[in-house]
Amino acid sequence: MPKHGKQFRNKIEGIDRSLLMSLEDAIQYVIKSSFVKFDETFDIAIRLGVDPRHADQMVRSSVVLPHGTGKVTRVLVFAKGEKEAEAREAGADFVGGDDLVAKIQGGWLDFDKTVATPDMMGTVGKIGRVLGPRNLMPNAKLGTVTFDVANIVKEIKSGKVDFRVDKAGIVHAGLGKLSFGNAKLLDNAKAFIEKIIHLKPSTSKGIYLKSIAVSSTMGPGFKVDPLSARALVK
C-alpha cells in the first residue's frame, strides 16, 4: 500500500529527497511539487541544538516577514481610553475590555491574535485558561503586552509571525503562500532564519542549526543544507 497518493509520487519521481539542497533550490522544488488546486502555505521546520527543558535554552520570539504571510489576521486588542482609539485607527478588528472578556467567556473565539496594554492584563487574566491553551494569551516576550498598540497591530497585520521551539527542539512556521513565488519566499525564509540565528542561547553548545526542511501544506518536504542557509543570511 503506497504511503502517498499518485499525484504526490509523480511530483517527487526522480528527485533524491535525501540530498541537502541550497535554500533557493529547495524553495523551487517545493513550488514545482505542488499538486493541489488551492494556494498552499510554504512551511519551514528547523531543528535546533537546544534543550527546551532548560529555560535558558528556550527559543521564542517573533519576526515581521518582508512580504507578509498571505493570510488575513484578525487582531483583538484589550485597551481603554486613548489606546483603544489608537488600536482602532491602526486596524484592529476588535477592541475593548470587560465586554470582550464576557464575550470570550461565552465561547466566542473569532480572532487570531491578541494584544493588551499592561494595565489591562488583570482583566485579561480572567480568561487566561481560555486563551493560554490556544496560544492566544498576550505575551510581553512576543511584544503583545505593550502600550505601543498601534505599531504592534500594524506589524501583526503586515505579517508578524510568532514562533517557539517545541519539546523536540524544532521550530515550525508558515512563511507565506506558494503564489508569492521564489524571490519573495526566499526573502521571508532568510528573515526567519536570520532571526533564529540571532536568538541562539549562550548556553547552547555544538551545532545550533542541526537541520532545516521546507515543504508546502500538502506537498513533499526537501532538506536544506544548514551551512549554506547560514552563509546566505549573512
What per-residue confidence (pLDDT) applies to 98?
94
Contact, 160 vs 64, CB < 8 A?
yes
Burial class (CB in 10 A: 0-12, 13-18, 19+), 167: exposed
What per-residue confidence (pLDDT) applies to 16?
66
Please, where in the chain does CATH 3.30.190.20 lie?
17-59+165-233
What per-residue confidence (pLDDT) applies to 1?
39
**Could you report the per-residue pLDDT of 168-207, keeping only the tens digit for each?**
999 999 999 999 999 999 999 999 999 999 999 999 888 9
Those residues with Cβ within 8 angstroms of residue 142's Cβ, 6 or more apart along the chain or in another chain? 60, 61, 62, 162
Distance CA 176, CA 30 (A): 13
209-216 vs 41-48, strand pairing mode: antiparallel
pLDDT tens by residue, the chain, 234 residues: 356 666 666 656 656 677 899 999 999 999 998 888 899 999 999 999 999 999 999 999 999 999 999 988 999 999 999 999 999 999 999 999 999 999 999 999 999 999 999 999 999 999 999 999 998 999 998 899 999 999 999 999 988 898 999 999 999 999 999 999 999 999 999 999 999 999 999 998 889 999 999 999 988 889 999 999 999 887
What per-residue confidence (pLDDT) applies to 219?
86
Contact, 120 vs 97, CB < 8 A?
yes
Distance CA 159, CA 180 (A): 13
Distance CA 176, CA 89 (A): 26
Please, where in the chain does CATH 3.40.50.790 lie?
75-157
Q: What is the CATH number of domain 17-59+165-233?
A: 3.30.190.20
Alpha-helix residue ranges (DSSP H) falling in 51-180: 82-90, 98-105, 121-124, 128-131, 149-159
**Could you report the per-residue pLDDT of 206-219, keeping only the tens digit for each?**
899 999 999 999 88
What per-residue confidence (pLDDT) applies to 205?
87
CATH class for the region spanning 75-157: alpha beta
Contact, 44 vs 223, CB < 8 A?
no
What per-residue confidence (pLDDT) applies to 232?
86
What per-residue confidence (pLDDT) applies to 126?
94
Q: Which three cell numbers stand for residue 32?
A: 514545482
